[in-house]
Structure 1
Amino acid sequence: MNRHPAPPPEVRAYLDELVERTRAVCGPHLVSVLAVGSLALGDYRHGRSDVDVTVVVDRSLPSGALPELARALAHPALPCPAAGLELVVYPADFAARPSGGAGYLMDLNTGPSLPERVSHDPAESPAFWYVLDRSVAHQSGLPLYGGPVRRVIAAPERPDVLAALGASVREHADGEGHAADNRVLNGCRSVVYCRTGRWHAKRAAARAVAASEAAFRPLVEQALRSFERPRESALPLPTDQVRDFLDWVAARVDEAVVALDGHTA
């Protein structure tokens, strides 16, 4: 039996209210609500982490319910105690099968530290974010409402996950809109996934990379120290060192793709 971490006390009441509002709007069409990201991996950092939530609904949900749900959950109508809420709604038939696509019905970003965004068109967003989130969800999703997570969210195929990791590393290498420490820690998590085939919390992955890669240890340790601070007071990291590290991460992802191709040839 999988043991799931309890939601941290700082966000427990918020998640309870989020589930209640989602049930009120979606009614019998609601299949599941689960926490993903740092909440699922047991590494939520209050003042730094977002609350990441996946909602799965029957495709017969009336179209007007999605804008209503966005209004019900938007900050400050529902005050978000975290840096932000990133919530994705999937149709159940899509979520239940492996896919390398985005596939969502609604993507909502809201909260005190996030730009407000609502999208109903998956073509508007790079697919890799959603592939990685569903991969984490299948492995470690924290159920808040509904049936067993692994019956609701299918694991994307490893080639799709590796392609998504490559796209994620390129996105973080560009740097725009991402704190330097988060770029480094996401890179560490990507490397550890390539090595193990499992998702680890950012800080645990960073400690593993620091232990095995002496050349990058000072940078990774700097990133870990910065990650302990609120998002608004993150420490600057050397730009050239971050770029070199992410180039190294990209090479590890490429190696994992080559190894997979060789195994399946």
Structure 2
Amino acid sequence: MEYRLKWSHEGHRGPINCAAFMDDGSHIASGSKSVGISYWYTLTQTGDNGHVIICLTWDPRHMYRLFVGCSDGAPAICENSETQESTSSILTGTKAPVFTLTVDEYSGYVAIALGSEIHVAKEVAYKYATFKIFPPPSELPLMAEQPDKRIRGRALAFRERGTELVVAYLNHGMVCWDIGSLEQRWQINPIHSHQITASGHTTLSSDKKHIALTNLGDGVDIYSLGWSHPDMRLKHPPLSEQKNIPVQVSWLRDGAAVVSGSSDGDVHIWEIPSGEPIQLLEHEGTLTYLVCGSCF
């Protein structure tokens, strides 16, 4: 399968912070500081607002419902992005930047990386509110050598019908939490000396068995859940140390391929499980740090 440019949009006046496909691939939502949220369908921009958007995700159980995380606090819910219905907030009791969030298709739970905390919220009486807050993750073996010890959740994924939550942290590797007991099932310690899981650039495969992450070094690593040594390393080093900027990675075709941005502006696609590069999508520019894929 070869990927070709289908259409492009120019609605944002500044850098785009996040983007996500609706499950059926019919819409893309994108978020930035300059425009807020934009909803795209084929060649039409269907809406926007004026907030500084860090992250967003579609609700797999409700068409056109979008969960949004802002830099200035509480996560919001756009109930119907198509008709521009008013938004509501998730009650968390915490005022902090929302770095990432996700929704479980079975339980309807919403996981939120909120400042230094990881919350799980559920719907009660037509409102969403936090009902679980996870404890701090265990420190990694080389943690004492790291100048940055902040607890920051950067990617979230539910497993086992909403009973487990996998969290990729900025400085604490990847942890699988039991939502019922709030205990750690396992923790992945990345093999790189910096032990950093890049900012928002980790993603779980559609079968929930593998994790892809950009390693702030030489490309993308593929891990099996619970194992601290990668099954596969997809090499694409940055152009220079000055351009060693975290870029996003995403799965394609139900885990048959991985796509990643790069510091040279191109988008790279590798075949899985062979790890062979299969396509290079060229872009004009010096950096492509945000990509999103869809398995529709």
TM-score range, shorter chain: 0.3 to 0.5
Normalised to the residue count of structure 1, the TM-score between the two structures is: 0.32
Normalised to the residue count of structure 2, the TM-score between the two structures is: 0.30
Query: Which has more helix, going by share of residues?
Result: 1
Q: Which has the higher contact order (CA 8 A, sep 6+)?
A: 1
